[in-house]
């Protein structure tokens, strides 16, 4: 039997764990798309996705992750996330989808009484190294999702990431806030160097208020927040740089 010095064994184990971690990291490209429907057209837009688009995405290799509408929706929005193996795959898969005769027919039929979409916003993202695996969860029909965006001061995102990785995610779990996924916009996207986008879930709106209130008053959170600001040497997020919106999953969403 070959005996390995303890120091060598330690570094061997560290290497194995590090390689396993790298292999396990989600390398897919996610696209967050927000559609603003024309007045009175949101139901038609949702129906087109339910009856045609999601199946056609799957036909062309595009992964349906989740579809939501805001709980309060004055802007007639539909928000969804799809996934691709890479940006090159995104280009080829999207082109293939767009030229599909079934898509063209569905788009034409659904728009016969007027254009459905007023504006589209899109951002390509990848999961952070501390994000949990994205699961197609089917849970309580009353469950609410929350999309939150943090815009950081220059050079501060790594400090914010460290706080989420080392403290915030665990504290969310502790107080009943379900961690779904954490993303960075890709480097060539708006916010590519200074933005964190993440999704959490709540059993109810009342539960959300209670959970965030308890988290804010948690002494572990207060200590972690103060220490992270001290390490960063200042405020991490720009003034007014935290936004959040509650979403309800559509009936056809893979994630509920």
pTM reported for the whole predicted model: 0.88
pLDDT at site 178: 95
Question: Who's near 162: CB < 8 A, 6+ residues apart?
Answer: 228, 231
* Percent of residues, the chain, with pLDDT higher than 70: 89
- Asked whether residue 75 carries a pLDDT value surpassing 60, the answer given is yes
At residue 141 the predicted structure's pLDDT band, cuts being 50, 70 and 90, is low
pLDDT digits (tens, 9 = 90+) for 165-212: 999 999 999 999 999 999 999 999 999 999 999 999 999 999 999 999
CA distance 18 to 9: 14
pLDDT at site 140: 66
Q: Residue 97 in 3-state DSSP?
A: helix
Closest CA to 81 of 124, 115, 110: 124
Mean pLDDT computed over 34-59? 98
Among 6-15, 94-103, 170-179, 243-252, which stretch is predicted with the lowest mean pLDDT? 6-15
107 vs 3: which has the higher pLDDT: 107
Question: Who's near 40: CB < 8 A, 6+ residues apart?
Answer: none
CB 34, CB 121: distance < 8 Å: yes
- 234 DSSP assignment: S
């Amino acid at each position: 039997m070959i005996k390995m010095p303890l120091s060598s064994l330690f570094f061997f184990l560290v290497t194995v764990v590090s390689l396993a971690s790298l292999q396990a990291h989600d390398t897919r490209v996610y696209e967050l798309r927000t559609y603003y429907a024309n007045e009175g057209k949101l139901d038609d837009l949702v129906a087109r996705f339910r009856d045609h688009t999601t199946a056609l995405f799957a036909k062309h290799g595009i992964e349906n992750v989740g579809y939501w509408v805001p709980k309060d929706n004055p802007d007639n929005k539909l928000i969804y996330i799809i996934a691709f193996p890479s940006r090159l795959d995104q280009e080829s898969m999207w082109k293939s989808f767009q030229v599909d005769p079934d898509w063209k027919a569905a788009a034409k039929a659904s728009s016969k009484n007027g254009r459905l979409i007023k504006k589209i916003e899109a951002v390509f993202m990848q999961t952070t190294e501390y994000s949990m695996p994205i699961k197609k969860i089917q849970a309580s029909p009353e469950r609410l999702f929350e999309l939150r965006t943090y815009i950081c001061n220059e050079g501060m995102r790594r400090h914010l990431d460290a706080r989420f990785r080392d403290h915030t995610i665990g504290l969310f779990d502790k107080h009943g806030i379900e961690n779904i996924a954490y993303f960075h916009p890709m480097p060539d996207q708006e916010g590519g160097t200074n933005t964190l986008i993440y999704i959490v879930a709540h059993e109810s709106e009342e539960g959300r208020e209670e959970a965030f209130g308890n988290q804010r008053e948690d002494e572990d959170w207060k200590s972690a927040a103060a220490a992270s600001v001290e390490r960063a040497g200042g405020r991490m997020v720009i003034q007014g740089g935290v936004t959040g919106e509650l979403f309800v999953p559509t009936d056809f969403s893979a994630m509920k």
